Structures are given as C-alpha cells and as structure tokens.
Amino acid sequence: MKKLILFTIISLTIFTQGFSQSDDQLFGGSSSDLGFNTNPKNGRVKALSEACLDRTYFDTEFSDFSDFSDDSLFGDDSIIEVDTTPTDAKSSDLSKGILFQTGSVKIGGAFDLGLTTLTSFQKDKDAAKSLEETLLLPKASAQLTIDARPTENLRLYLKTGIHYPYVTESYSTLITTPTGAAPGTGLPPNLVVNGGSNTFNIANIFYIKELFSDFNIGDYVGFRFGKQTVSWGVGYFYSPADVINLTRINPEDPTAQVEGPLALRTQIVFPGTQHAIWAYIIPNNDFAAAAQGAGPYLKNTAFALKGDILIGDFEFGLGAWYKNQNPAKFMLTTTGTIFRTYSIFSELVLSIGKDNVPEDYTPIFQGTLGILKSWTKQNLTIGLQYYYNGQEFSAAQNYGHNLAALITFSKFLFSDLSLSLFGQYNFDNNQGTAFCDLKYSPIKEFSVTAGPYFTLTKDDVITSIKLVFNLGSGKF
C-alpha cells in the first residue's frame, strides 16, 4: 500500500502543478525539418543526417553529462569547429586542430567526475548497520567525439570513452557490481571488476560508442555504415518500437544514449518534402556463438524498413523488422503537438510471435502513449508515459501495464537550486522505483544532489539516501 501511495503522490503532484500554469510550448512541433542540410546554391538536399525526435533534457544529475548522440552533442556551441581558412602564421597549429584541405573537423568531449554515496535502510537491518554499509562510488569517466568531413561527400564520425575503474586499479580491493545490483548508483552497465588475483575481468572500461561514415549518392540518397545509435522509436521513458538498438532506454535516465548496432543504413528523401524512407541491414552480432563455431551466419542478418511522413503538426512512421528465427515486428509511431503546447508521442507494435519462444506465431501487442509539457516562466517541465508490454517473456521484466512520470523545476526557490521528482511502477508485478532529488549548484563546475531513493517490491519499500557530488565535470 505504501508503494502505491508514493507513486500516486508523484503523479498527482505532476498534474496539479502542471495543468494549473500558463502554457509555453515545449517543442516547436513536428513542423521542424528532419535534419537535412540544403545546398545554398540550389536549395536542394545536399547532405543527409539522422531524423529523430529531440528529447527534452530534464535538469537532473542524470542528464548533465549523458552519452548524447552525435547530432545533439555537436548541436552544442561548446564544440570547436576547425575552419580551413588560412590562419595567422604566428598562431599555434595545435590550437587549430587537424585541418583538411577541403573539409573541417569538429572535436568535442565530456568529463564526468564525482562521488556518490548510497545508504540503504531495510527492515531487517538497524540504522547503525545501514550507515556502516554506506557505499562510496567514485566516477571519473571521459568521452571524446571526432566529426571529420574530409570531402564534401564524406563524413567520418567516432565517439569513444573510458569508464572508471581503470586497468591500473585492477589489483585494488575495489569490486564494482553492475548497475542493476545497486539501483540509483549510476554505474556503467556491465562493469565488473574482480581484483586481488592474477586473473581478473574488466568489461567496457574502454569502449566505442559510435564509429561510422556517412556518404551519399546524389542529393536524395544517403548511406551510413558502422556502429551507430539508431533513432527508431519516439518514446521518452519506454520505446517498444525500438527493436534495432542493443539496449533499451533506462526510464531513470531517459536522455542517456543507448547502445547501437553495427549496421548499414540507407536513407531516401523525397524532393520538396520532409518525407523519408529508412532501410537498415544489421549483421548478426552474436560473437559468442561465432567463437563456438556457430556463426555469425548470413541467414541471421536482420532487416528493417521504415517510412516517415509529415501531415500538418504530426509525423507518422510505419515500419517493419525481421530476423531469422525471431518474430517479425510491425510498428506505427506518431509524434506531434496538441493545443499548440502539449507534445505527445505514441507507439504501437505488433509481434508475430512471442520473444524467446521458437516457432510461436501468436499476435502480441505492445503500445505506449506519452506527453511532455514545459512552462518557461515557472521553470517547470513534466513528462508522463503509459506503456503496455504484451511480451510476457520480455528481458526488460516490465510485462503488463507500466507508468512513468517526471517533474522538474530547473529553478526551485532560487536560481542555484533545482528539484526533480520521478516515479515508475509496474502494476502487474507491483514493483517500481521513485526518487526526489534536490540539486544545489553554486557554480557550473560543482554541484551536490541529495534525496531519497525508493525501491518498491511486492513485500517491502526499501529507502535509500543518495548524495551525488559533481566535482569539475564539463564539456568541451
């Protein structure tokens, strides 16, 4: 009962706060262009880029230094673009970066530095024991992005990074568990360190987030090949239509970039419109099976096709996905604005069969509907999304009816203070999480975030107190 009360309070707070204020538009609607670059000489499409629903970056510690996609990162004016025009002979060549005779280079990155403490209070432990077992989790991660355009028709893109702990820390007593074992810690996924012996495993310390090239044939057909994050679904907290990317959206950190596959993308645009067709060929990435002599086979290559069409203030997408020995999936996505101020999005997915069940052809439905709204004068943003998952054997363990809600005040009481409330709940297994974060940031390079974190289970509500210190994080 307590867990339902917690989630109800958050949901009611969102609606009573949100719908009683004046309206300011959150998004510019779906009338914005799909990201095509036009030739200034003839006004036609010259280069092609990813079309996607821009996410609203809620002001929480989870979204300050997330793994942004290439378009969102280089949309930031903090990125240095190296011009190819001649420079003063007295200036340093290093200060101007690497120059191409017919192109340019954009170099960007981010450092995520800080400490997190997490104290969990459970009914079978007294307070003293809980304090004694407080976790101290350091973070010292970096990410580097290079966007090179050596010719007018070629773009080369790389995003790489490193997570703490590093190899030099392997023999220490530090043992880090995956994020799922310690909710709310914000640790990198699949990060496991076994120290104290000559044999240890460090996964995903150095990583490649994206590595691809863009090139086009003519003005209306473009290609992208390499490891890439695919903008396929439109959901904010949940996206059942996103069947291509290797990882799913984390509802507690919805702005973080998900892990994408290695794929060949073909994009075809229609002259004079914002309509487009997207086609993907995705080689099988089961390298564990390949190591045992079982592939990767050509027959296990996945194929995906999607068309986007803009009608008024709404964009509709119709797509299909197929892979050998997997249920075929068909999806319909919608984004747009209502009453000129409320951004809404929806996804409907039909699977011809159950996931992880061979030779099953039972029709399975998944669907989601969400809304985003912002009030500029009140520094208030809200998000609410319902998700039904008909896949009983879903790896995400969110079968049935789900609800997620978020409310943020970018300025709360005074300019250096912000407030965030979040809750997600599964009504079929009676599990969920919720948090309330108060963030104080007197300068951009330092902040401290404090608040309770609740883990809702069938039989109990586990309360944790979390402190997050941002110590000099920044982007360049």
Per-residue pLDDT tens digits for 251-284: 999 999 999 999 999 999 998 888 999 999 999 8
What pLDDT sits at residue 293? 64
What pLDDT sits at residue 336? 95
DSSP result, 406-464: EEEESSBSBTTEEEEEEEEEETTTTEEEEEEEEEEEEETTEEEEEEEEEEE-SS-EEEE
Inter-residue contact 35 to 49 (CB < 8 Å): yes
What pLDDT sits at residue 88? 43
CA angle (313, 236, 369) in 5-degree steps:
65
Q: For the beta carbon of residue 179, count every other beta carbon within 10 angstroms.
A: 18
Q: Residue 315 pLDDT more than 50?
A: yes
Q: How confident is the model at residue 176 (pLDDT cuts 50, 70, 90)?
A: very low
**Which phi and psi angles does 360 have, rounded to 5°?**
-115, 135
Inter-residue contact 45 to 51 (CB < 8 Å): no
DSSP letter at 144 equals E
Q: How confident is the model at residue 155 (pLDDT cuts 50, 70, 90)?
A: very high
Inter-residue contact 92 to 65 (CB < 8 Å): no
> Which 3-state string (H, E, C) describes 225-254?
EEECCCCCCCCCCCCCCCCCCCCCCCCCCC
Using alpha carbons, list the distances in angstroms from residue 324 to 242, 299, 424. 18, 7, 34
What pLDDT sits at residue 226? 97
Q: Residue 192 pLDDT more than 50?
A: no
Matching residue, tokens 């564990």: 288
Amino acid residing at 19: F
Inter-residue contact 263 to 244 (CB < 8 Å): yes
Q: How confident is the model at residue 464 (pLDDT cuts 50, 70, 90)?
A: very high
What pLDDT sits at residue 272? 85
27-31, 108-112, 243-247: range with lowest mean pLDDT: 27-31
Matching residue, tokens 């586990």: 462
Q: Residue 13 pLDDT more than 50?
A: no
Inter-residue contact 260 to 229 (CB < 8 Å): yes
Q: Residue 471 pLDDT more than 70?
A: yes
The percent of residues in the chain predicted with pLDDT above 70, rounded, is 67
What pLDDT sits at residue 125? 83
35-44, 172-181, 221-230: range with lowest mean pLDDT: 35-44
Here the contacts of 337-343 (C-beta below 8 Å, separation 24 or greater) are 337/25, 337/27, 337/29, 337/30, 337/313, 339/23, 340/23, 340/25, 340/29, 341/23, 341/24, 341/25, 341/26, 341/373, 342/26, 342/371, 342/372, 342/373, 343/26, 343/27, 343/29, 343/371, 343/372, 343/373
What would the two tokens of residue 352 be? 């011809």
Top-confidence range, 6-10, 47-51, 190-194: 6-10
Distance between CA 82 and CA 69 in Å, rounded? 20
73: exposed, middle or buried (Cβ count in 10 Å: 0-12, 13-18, 19+):
buried
> What digits encode the pLDDT tens for the residues 426-454?
999 889 999 999 999 999 999 999 999 99
Here the contacts of 254-258 (C-beta below 8 Å, separation 24 or greater) are 254/55, 254/58, 255/55, 255/57, 255/58, 255/62, 255/63, 255/66, 255/68, 256/62, 256/63, 256/66, 256/67, 257/66, 257/67, 257/68, 257/69, 257/209, 257/229, 258/229
Cis-peptide into 254, omega within 30 deg: no
Q: How confident is the model at residue 295 (pLDDT cuts 50, 70, 90)?
A: low
Distance between CA 274 and CA 402 in Å, rounded? 33
Q: Residue 173 pLDDT more than 50?
A: no
What would the two tokens of residue 49 be? 């880029």
Distance between CA 265 and CA 271 in Å, rounded? 19
Q: What is the mean pLDDT of the chain?
A: 76
DSSP letter at 300 equals G
Q: Higher confidence at residue 169 or residue 454?
A: 454
Which has the closest alpha carbon to 112: 136, 80, 137? 137
Mean pLDDT of 388-393: 84
Inter-residue contact 231 to 249 (CB < 8 Å): no
Which has the closest alpha carbon to 368: 351, 346, 383, 390? 346
Distance between CA 39 and CA 46 in Å, rounded? 5
Q: Higher confidence at residue 459 or residue 397?
A: 459
> What digits encode the pLDDT tens for the residues 326-374?
999 999 999 999 988 899 999 999 999 888 777 888 999 999 999 999 9
What pLDDT sits at residue 354? 86
325: exposed, middle or buried (Cβ count in 10 Å: 0-12, 13-18, 19+):
exposed
Mean pLDDT of 114-142: 91
What pLDDT sits at residue 38? 32
Matching residue, tokens 């039972």: 362
1-10, 197-206, 341-350: range with lowest mean pLDDT: 1-10
What pLDDT sits at residue 299? 87
Tell me the helices (H) and strands (E) count for the chain, helix number first.
4, 22
What pLDDT sits at residue 398? 84
Q: How confident is the model at residue 203 (pLDDT cuts 50, 70, 90)?
A: low
Q: Residue 79 pLDDT more than 80?
A: no
Q: Higher confidence at residue 244 or residue 355?
A: 244
What pLDDT sits at residue 360? 82
